[in-house]
Structure 1
Amino acid sequence: MEKTERTVGELMLDQLSLFGVKRIYGVVGDATFGLIDALAKQDKIKYIAVKHESTAAFMASAEAKLTGGLGVCTATMGPGATNLLNGLGDAYSDKAPVLAITGQAPSDKIGTEFPQYIDQQELMKPFAAYSANLASPDATIEVLQKAVRTSLGQRVVTHLSVPKDIFMMPATGEPRPLPDVIEGASNFTKESLEQAAGIMKTAKRPMILAGAGAASASEEIEKLADLWGAGILASLGGKGLFDDSSPHNLQGIGEGGNPYASDLFKEADVVLLAGTTWWPEGYVPTDARIIQIDRHFDKFVKEIPTDLGIIGKTEEVLPFLVESLQGFSRSEDWVARCQEIKEKWAVQNEKEGSTEGYPAHPARIMRALDRTVAPDAILALDTGDNTVWTNRNFRQKDQSVLVSGYWRTMGFGLPAAMAAKLIEPEKQVVAIVGDGGLQMVLADLLTATRYELNITVVVLNNESLQMERDKLKVAKKKEVGVDLTNPDFVKLAEACGWKGLRADSDIELESVLEEALNTNAPTLVDISTAQVFFPETE
């Protein structure tokens, strides 16, 4: 095959396209002109121009979380690179495979007082499992291959900095696909999991705690729960994995979720952790034996007292455990107790969701949402009071949920919703945000306008950083800075080319949401929200 001479920027795009990359999120800067020029000359990878680099990194992280594939973001040197860090922190914390490509000073200026120069490898060290500066055009394929293999293989952030001049130099080498990796159920047998099955068979009060890593195993978890007689609890990342009607689904635990499940969980004698590294401090059983399934051994050291760790994908392990437990005599008393807790919370949840008054109670807003949002919608949650009320009161069906799980950054909701709509244009996408979180990324309302992204943003507008206010009260500390000075969100949305709607009473919530969800344009719904103390605040 005849080789084609390409610049480094062009070769990188050809290689990334071969890896399946369809979008790169970023902000244009002069240190990346070689990459920008290459992007403008091709149509395999779409460049999504955003208003702030943190939005680019959030979108790349959200894409990686939603698809399991590689998310890619780019920025110029100096402040452009530093602005990526918040979104890269989110990807790092939630094990989302993201590649960041940043421009760097010209190769003859590295290490000097050149404007905006910083040692980017040191800058990225806390978040990037692999970070390299491309020092030669001829190393383009090798370093890009290593970065992507590392990101996808370990589900981590990687980073490449490219000097401005090198981006535009001719490069040798041909793109090549990633090598096939054989992994899967062949690594496990019923016999190899005898130790895990043996522990599980001792259970009289079993519980399953599931997270985002079990996204492909929800049906198997429900089978196991039925056979084992276990209740299922979900971390926030696991919200949406199980239908609210699932007989063993007890919802969440801790700050949000089922408030009655906490005491039940403390009584468990065997707990299976499936695809989660979250351990709800203060709610954990004291004498339970813990089995944890995850792909990477390093996840077994996050202060979880694991008795047995199983390295692998949850969906590959569970069928063997189900097979091993055939004929297991489950405790019907425990099953009945789990069902009692489920029903008790369902009654209270319905009552909370029926709270009348305006400004609207957050639980009432969640009830309106679960009545109107499509069963297969994608929900993008910002971080704040909106997160815990969604976790507590939203009765999910088959919705997918995007959230900043461990990093817990404000400003995630809008970027995540935009990324989701780009990936799944036929799906309904709803961002549930607080007024504080939205204001961190307001400029990127225009990004949705630019790319005609038909998303709905629901703003819980209580004119405060309510979660912080609640925590200050619990800590018996005085408050300052928690009141917000808000714009008129409807007028602001309209100024950005969106449709803006506002509910004027709690009775109107469903009708206004239905109008928004059926509008073929970016739509913002401003809901005046009561400043309600969240009952599980710690």
Structure 2
Amino acid sequence: MQQNIRMDTEALSGKTVAEQLLEQLRIWGVKRMYGVVGDAILGLMDAIAKQDKIQFIAVKHESTAAMMASAEAKLTGGLGVCIATMGPGLGNLLNGLGDAYKDKASVLAITGQAPTDKIGTDYKQYVNQQELIKPLAQYSTLLAHPDAIIKVLNKAMHMSLVKGTVTHLSVPKDMFTRGTKAMPHPKPLLLKGTYHFEAEGLKQAIDIMNLAQRPMILAGVGARNAAKHVETLAEKWGAGLLVSLGAKTILPDTSPNLLGGIGQGGNPYAAQVFTQADVVLLIGDTWWPEGYVPQNARIIQIDYMQENIGKGIPIELGIVGDSATIVPLLVEGVQQSTHTTWKSQWQEMRQKWVQQNEQEGNQTGSPIHPSRIVRAIEKSVQPNAILTLDTGDVTVWMNRNFRSQQQEMLFSGEWRTMGFGLPAALAAKLCMPERQVVAIVGDGGLEMVLADLLTATRYNLQITVIVFNNGYLQMERDKMIVSGFNQEGTDLTNPDFVTLAQACSWNGYRIDSDTKLEEILQQALASNRPALVEVLTAPVVHPETKG
């Protein structure tokens, strides 16, 4: 009887909810969906199988699916989509959705829900999904009628892309196969305007900048499209230039005003000059690490998103707009610097770190010092490589010692979840198969997502994973050591990573001496299969560690 009702409804409308959902996603440019099959989305899976425009990427855990969607959104600026079943399926998505939410990545999650006649009952796996996901999704709704599918889907996609946020649709299990009268809409042509500025309109900012005796610039990922102009402004203004981890690769390390990063893992001497600054210009940046920043400086912040202005930073003047439009006008209006004493101060700190960084990267021994591994990665990867970083000890060592040639980095910025490196690499290779993709991970972080080595095998994704194997949750161990705590729970029970990789049809390599670091890394990077390189790493306490 139920089958007859379904067929009659489809005969009237022609298409099911699942079919129209997929067609609308296709129209908006979605090319793939990440997820795990489950009972409440079987109708959607059937529709996916009947079309060839949107690829379903089957992963081993829903958290991986959500992290891959987040990574795709960060890399492409488009919409990442993940799907899961009800109950534990949505529960497992939450970690990756947390990453997208905190880093303002445009991600849509679609989850199955209990059948319509079981909503609100004691049905297996039922939970109020809107309440469960509420802290992480700016919009979440339950599809209550098949004819509403296009309206709620377009609302979710629009909000996600315009606001850079997570949105969510719950679709009851029986709703996917029901017919709908709703027709897909063309994607609106969105002309993303810029705020119109003239140099005169920025007079207040320029006046503050021209009063500076000790100017500094701190650039974030929002400065990427204005990188060359930022470099020009720093030179004319006589400012030292610092970057957040997200902006580490927007300029080559040889840029003459670039001091490197600030905060744990950055240039250890940068705070000596940054804390003395009297005027600071923030460009597309929300990173303001306590203990490394000036207390009494006049702060100007440029950001395209108004909600970022003054977010945790005591600014004097906020400018809402595109840095690529605003920074050239500041270059035009600011006076040529005559502050030679200040320039000499920050140049001294820059040169001091350049020399020390070179020395740190040349350390020898076995197990291998993390700085030496970073130097080998730096020498081995392509200039346009995509580097995906896990969260932990590898993050701060890469931030400290990696000298960029303008590679692109993906990482979990604000959520800081372990296990991000491998899923991000998988997504990056799917999105940009022509580019070299390298995941740089710790042993503990990789162990959280080990099963998805098989996802690379399944889809023939030729990525390289470099594992810093020091046998510990090293960042936590470092903090416990400097705090005087016992290091309970930080030691790891590790597998043989090489044998495990080979069991997954990867090429596996082990490095236990720095003498063959570059040679073996080059072999792995040239592999015609996914490759894993296990590097036996010295458990060194990072010098910037705080308890």
TM-score, scaled relative to structure 1: 0.97
Distance 1:424 1:507 in 2: 33
2:243 to 234, 256, 260: 234
Measure how far apart 1:329 and its partner are. 3.2
1:138 to 128, 132, 147: 147
**Deviation digits for residues 257-303 of structure 1 (CA, Å, limit 9, x no counterpart):** 11010111101111111112111111110111111122222223432
- The residue aligned with 2:71 is 62
- The residue aligned with 1:397 is 405
Distance 2:134 2:87 in 1: 15
**Deviation digits for residues 159-211 of structure 1 (CA, Å, limit 9, x no counterpart):** 11111111111122222234333443353232322222222222121111112
Measure how far apart 1:482 and its partner are. 0.2
Say whether residues 1:113 and 2:132 are aligned partners.
Answer: no
Distance 2:210 2:526 in 1: 50
Which residue identity does 2:445 align to in structure 1? G
Which residue identity does 2:464 align to in structure 1? T
**Deviation digits for residues 208-241 of structure 1 (CA, Å, limit 9, x no counterpart):** 1112222222122112112212111111111211
**Deviation digits for residues 463-519 of structure 1 (CA, Å, limit 9, x no counterpart):** 001100110112211121000000000000000110000113110101010100111
**Deviation digits for residues 388-433 of structure 1 (CA, Å, limit 9, x no counterpart):** 0000011111200001011111000000011111111111110000
Distance 1:313 1:268 in 2: 25
Say whether residues 1:436 and 2:444 are aligned partners.
Answer: yes
Say whether residues 1:42 and 2:51 are aligned partners.
Answer: yes
Which residue identity does 1:454 align to in structure 2? Q
The DSSP-based 3-state class of the residue aligned with 1:287 is: coil
1:447 to 455, 460, 467: 455
The DSSP-based 3-state class of the residue aligned with 1:398 is: coil
2:470 to 439, 443, 462: 462
Which residue identity does 2:450 align to in structure 1? L
Measure how far apart 1:383 and its partner are. 0.4
- The residue aligned with 1:502 is 510
8 Å CA contact retained: 2:310, 2:318 = no
The DSSP-based 3-state class of the residue aligned with 1:192 is: helix
**Deviation digits for residues 18-57 of structure 1 (CA, Å, limit 9, x no counterpart):** 1111111100111111211111111111110000000000
- The residue aligned with 1:157 is 166
Distance 1:4 1:398 in 2: 52
Distance 1:504 1:475 in 2: 30
Distance 1:330 1:173 in 2: 66
Distance 1:316 1:171, change over 3 A: farther
2:434 to 426, 444, 457: 426
2:372 to 364, 367, 383: 364
Say whether residues 1:295 and 2:278 are aligned partners.
Answer: no
Q: Which runs of no fewer than 5 residues in structure 1 stay unpaired?
A: none
Matched pairs, number: 535
**Deviation digits for residues 315-346 of structure 1 (CA, Å, limit 9, x no counterpart):** 23222222222x43342332232222221111
- The residue aligned with 1:307 is 316
Which residue identity does 2:138 align to in structure 1? A
8 Å CA contact retained: 2:219, 2:283 = yes
**Deviation digits for residues 140-171 of structure 1 (CA, Å, limit 9, x no counterpart):** 11111111111111101111111111111112
- Bigger drift between 169-178 and 103-112 goes to 169-178
Distance 2:156 2:428 in 1: 24
Distance 1:30 1:264, change over 3 A: same
The DSSP-based 3-state class of the residue aligned with 2:356 is: helix
- The residue aligned with 2:293 is 284
Distance 2:126 2:194 in 1: 48
- The residue aligned with 2:534 is 526
Which residue identity does 1:526 align to in structure 2? E
Distance 1:279 1:52 in 2: 34
Which residue identity does 1:136 align to in structure 2? H
- The residue aligned with 2:8 is none
The DSSP-based 3-state class of the residue aligned with 2:337 is: coil
- The residue aligned with 1:125 is 134
8 Å CA contact retained: 1:269, 1:289 = yes
Say whether residues 1:15 and 2:24 are aligned partners.
Answer: yes
8 Å CA contact retained: 2:13, 2:179 = no
Distance 1:536 1:236 in 2: 15
2:389 to 366, 381, 391: 381
- The residue aligned with 2:6 is none
Which residue identity does 2:132 align to in structure 1? L
Which residue identity does 2:519 align to in structure 1? S
- The residue aligned with 2:325 is 316
- The residue aligned with 2:524 is 516
- The residue aligned with 2:233 is 224
- The residue aligned with 2:9 is none
Which residue identity does 2:435 align to in structure 1? K
Q: Which runs of no fewer than 5 residues in structure 2 stay unpaired?
A: 1-11
The DSSP-based 3-state class of the residue aligned with 1:193 is: helix
- The residue aligned with 1:354 is 362
Which residue identity does 1:465 align to in structure 2? L
Distance 2:346 2:80 in 1: 40
Distance 2:381 2:198 in 1: 41
Distance 1:118 1:209, change over 3 A: same
- The residue aligned with 2:275 is 266
CA RMSD for the aligned pairs?
1.4
- The residue aligned with 1:71 is 80
2:108 to 99, 106, 117: 99
- The residue aligned with 2:424 is 416
- Bigger drift between 273-282 and 396-405 goes to 273-282
The DSSP-based 3-state class of the residue aligned with 1:310 is: strand
Distance 1:159 1:399 in 2: 32
**Deviation digits for residues 237-259 of structure 1 (CA, Å, limit 9, x no counterpart):** 11211111111111111110110
8 Å CA contact retained: 2:368, 2:512 = no
The DSSP-based 3-state class of the residue aligned with 1:159 is: strand
8 Å CA contact retained: 1:101, 1:160 = yes
- The residue aligned with 1:30 is 39
Distance 1:69 1:145 in 2: 14
TM-score, scaled relative to structure 2: 0.96
Distance 1:185 1:297, change over 3 A: closer
8 Å CA contact retained: 1:204, 1:330 = no
Distance 1:100 1:336, change over 3 A: same
Say whether residues 1:486 and 2:494 are aligned partners.
Answer: yes
Distance 2:302 2:59 in 1: 38
Distance 1:317 1:265 in 2: 23
Distance 2:345 2:53 in 1: 55
Distance 2:139 2:198 in 1: 34
- Bigger drift between 436-445 and 152-161 goes to 152-161
Distance 1:224 1:367 in 2: 30
Distance 1:177 1:196, change over 3 A: farther
8 Å CA contact retained: 1:93, 1:406 = yes
The DSSP-based 3-state class of the residue aligned with 2:309 is: helix
The DSSP-based 3-state class of the residue aligned with 2:116 is: coil
Which residue identity does 2:395 align to in structure 1? T
